[in-house]
Structure 1
């Protein structure tokens, strides 16, 4: 009897009613939403390239992302002989992720390929790479975004930009001039100032001559310096109380280490594969980019693009979270039928998919605007809408990733499932490169100082008029609220939310599928809308929205 009982208990661990993992697939060809919006905004010529990129993201790079987040960066301040080395060691998986992205043009494509849609194709690459590993996306986006700021100083750009754009990754710890490819970081934030960079106390004095392109010596401390193994850093420092921008290399021209000393690596909630550090400059050399006192104007060109990448990154988190939730629930039976066939679960999944598509629509709309910045209206849209998208998408991603985790249940909460990483990752894009309040204040400043920019933004929104009464009413109400200057700063978040929802709705109306636009307007712009996911009106065809978002694994030949 005891032997029979042992045989029975030995079989109780048979795994049933669990879906197969979402892996070994093509992250591009199986993503109906991404393919649709890439085509809508002129990136269809990149289909073959994106398909190859997506294949690797869904196969070996997906695994590399788990490894890079399991084996975290390690800081080595000195070598065994006592020499200061300031080295961060990464797991090989991190270098694998960086190498693939850079070699495929993640950092270079829009600067080297002038075809219309280059920013759209590159935006799709950034979105896909995030689904493999968001952390390594930090140095990638800074490298991509550094080009306009460095180009302010032609003589410095002549030596640095070609190496940034070579599509060659060199993760070795050696001088920049001995490397074939370079990466760029930034260091702006200080303890006492935070987002108020004009409160910075780091000082710079000329090594020999003053002026644009010349070397200065920097002394000071930075509270956050992301990706400290980059080859150069855009740094803000005071020159005679004039905030200025510098390119600070990790190695000096004479081949010696530049005294930019890492104090520690930050232990963070998320973004763990990326090394964020605290640094001191002890006479570190750096080239002045542009005129003294023009530091904010110079570095804001980089910041604007990294904020845009925050939109793409948070959209990618929502995409991956929604796909994981839809995939998991499609493979589970609960209460007698498939989990994603239960009406309430379908409502939640459809709401998650709707949020993801609206975020993707305006993110790639921004890519399209970047591709057409020679058009004054498109350039004006970039100046205003980047803050709107960065504010809204990055905030929505936090609740969105949690809701997807809840759909999956307890297994989604453990680190073996990617949704736990997505949830930890979500807040960083909302905080980095200017918190929500900073985005609101920046937008108010732009709209106040640049009436043409406000007119361009409203003209963009008005393209959605005439289709839905609720949209038209919401836009008219927004115009009235913008015209009322009394207490506008205190109301800035209300305005930002309305701007974001109207922009998403207009983009879906103008460029999207009709049933998606109708669902979004009905769910987000009516007076009885709710704030929790899973509260879509009953008239919406939630099943069709979920079906559209379901990963089409049969579209990948392997």
Structure 2
């Protein structure tokens, strides 16, 4: 006979049926400020979708039923296909349908990138793995614009389409497409100039431009199920950028050998692979020998998406933690009513709001109405934010996970998955030192970017003495390093961190409630509080911060 030992009590109900957009005050305010009025309705619809139990179940399933590689069909023919669970395709199809990939290019204008960033953030908040091909497709557009007109005219409409077709098709069979990238090799990593993949001209020059045959190995190729890839290889004229379709114009498969899938710490729903190129057909994009210049626009925008994706992860972490403490009791009262726990969640919300505001302000700087000063600002601010926000992500996820206690450490709750996900965005598209050294390169080559940055940040001057002091110190460090940029590599991280903190503080002072800005300045700039989350100094309005969660 079944014995019922007890009734389950004091367990937190599922966080389902939530409008993830409308419940995210900092995101709503940012879209109202920098987006277009008509964006709100579509974003509410997306927020409601990703908040459903069905979407969350798909997110869990896509990560527990990992992609598998099929190198050959049953008759021994090479196919090199990656199979995904249907849940992954449903998520990816929903994101594409909502324009989370290329809507800012298809419908440009002031605020377009903010709206696209908000949609991207909402999907990535619940399932981050699919965001990789979504981001790369968005970022590929400006690089593809450098291709020959025939290639550009055939493929650009596919990238801008909101249709989703999971299969590979050629000869005009597909109306939509996803585009990935394959740059790094075993011997080089971030140093792409060390690449050895060879590009040999075939002599053909059709409507797609100059054709080459590529031979070599790529150590990381993300989302290998994509329809095409942007690849760096050594041509006779130097390192160059090439467009590599999976299916050739005549409908035959290109030589694109997927050797194995990477066994990653996280990002389980998204496949990453090693590939061999063996006489692979490719078409030149941009000028021969100028491959880095051609791929930089793509890299820059994927770096921005690393910031947006990390901020999305912080939002998930805060939302789950806040939900838990508002429904769970311990020692006679709700956790949210206990000062120690309230302080932790409040400071997690503070960090999340700073990241959200930073990501949306950066997205606005990428709109096509950006003037020269705005473009200079984004050149520096993107690198600065990519370094800082993405490095803050893992620690933030851990602290939120701990708020759930033992449940947080189990794979049946989403924060264990988030904890394994956040480090990826600090590594992808340039790990810490690569990004910090890029900031130094900007200082050496584009001093006008620092002028634009401090003009933007300085708009918050006069509101907080602590901010004004830190801003002056950051400017002083810039002057010191400017005297010897080449000899200042050891100070690259110090410089980048200072710039990131004054940028976030400035944005919060200008646009967030006073209680939020005051807490940030006191804890991040003035040194009040502690080294870990929850050690807030006296006088911080914890209730106001919690309300933002």
Whole-Å separation in 2 of the counterparts to 1:247 and 1:56: 35
Instruction: Report the Cα distance in structure 1 between the residues aligned to 2:535 and 2:296, rounded to whole angstroms.
Output: 39
Match of 1:83 in 2: 77
TM-score (norm 2): 0.96
Aligned to 1:28: 21
Conserved 8 A contact 1:40-1:511 = no
Structure 2 counterparts to residues 89-238 of structure 1, below 5 A: 89-155=83-149, 156-175=151-170, 177-209=172-204, 213-238=209-234
Please tell me whether the aligned partners of residues 372 and 379 of structure 1 are also in contact (alpha carbons under 8 angstroms). no
Following the alignment from structure 1 to structure 2, what is the Cα–Cα distance between the partners of residues 346 and 256?
Answer: 60
- Distance in 2 between residues matched to 1:403 and 1:43, nearest whole Å: 35
**Kept in 2: contact 1:359–1:393 (CA 8 A):** yes
The C-alpha deviation readout for 1:200-243, integer Å capped at 9, x for no partner, is 00010111147992111000000000000100000000012600
Does structure 2 conserve the Cα–Cα contact (< 8 Å) formed by 1:210 and 1:216?
no
Cα deviation code 1:162-204 (max 9, x no counterpart): 1111111111132262101000000001000000000000010
Separation in 2, partners of 1:170, 1:162: 14
Contact 1:62 1:131 in 2 (8 A): no
Correspondence 1:112-511 to 2 at 5 A: 112-155=106-149, 156-175=151-170, 177-209=172-204, 213-240=209-236, 242-371=238-367, 373-485=369-481, 486=484, 487-511=487-511
Does residue 11 of structure 2 align to residue 15 of structure 1?
A: no
1:452–1:514 CA distance, 2 compared to 1 (3 A): same
Cα distance, 1:311 vs structure 2: 0.4
1:530, distance to aligned residue in structure 2 (A): 2.9
CA deviations 1:113-161 (Å, max 9, x no partner) are: 1232111111101110012210000000000110000001241211110
> Following the alignment from structure 1 to structure 2, what is the Cα–Cα distance between the partners of residues 405 and 374?
39
Stretch deviating more after TM superposition (259-268 or 453-462): 453-462
Q: Does 1:64 align with 2:92?
A: no
Task: Give SS of 1:75's match.
Answer: strand
Q: Which runs of 5+ in 1 are unaligned?
A: 1-5, 550-558
- Where 1:17 maps in the other structure, the secondary structure is coil
Distance 2:508 2:29 in 1: 12
| Secondary structure of the structure 1 residue equivalent to 2:460 | coil
Which deviates more from structure 2 when the two are superposed, residues 419-428 or residues 176-185? 176-185
C-alpha distance in structure 2 between counterparts of 1:349 and 1:461, whole Å: 28
Query: How many residues end up aligned between the 2 structures?
Result: 542
Change over 3 Å in CA distance of 1:444–1:210 after alignment to 2 = farther
Output the CA distance in 2 between the equivalents of 1:114 and 1:496: 31
Is the CA contact (8 Å cut-off) linking 1:372 and 1:378 kept in structure 2?
Answer: no
Instruction: Give RMSD over aligned pairs.
Output: 1.5
Q: Give yes or no for contact 1:176–1:182 (8 Å, CA) kept in 2.
A: no
The offset of 1:373, in angstroms, is: 5.0
Q: CA deviation at 1:465?
A: 0.7
Q: Which deviates further from its counterpart, 478-487 or 419-428? A: 478-487
Say whether the 8 Å CA contact 2:109–2:369 is kept in structure 1.
Answer: no
CA distance change for structure 1 residues 373 and 200 in 2, over 3 Å: closer, same or farther?
A: farther
TM-fit CA distance, 1:523: 1.4
Whole-Å separation in 2 of the counterparts to 1:270 and 1:299:
26
- 8 Å contact kept, 2:109–2:368: no
What TM-score, normalized by structure 1, do the two folds share? 0.95
TM-superposed CA distance for 1:489, in Å, is 1.2
Q: Which residue number in structure 1 is paired with residue 534 of structure 2?
A: 534
Shift of 1:482: 1.1
SS at match of 2:209: coil
Do the aligned residues in 1 keep the contact of 2:171 with 2:251 (CA within 8 Å)?
no
In structure 2, runs of 5+ residues without a counterpart are none
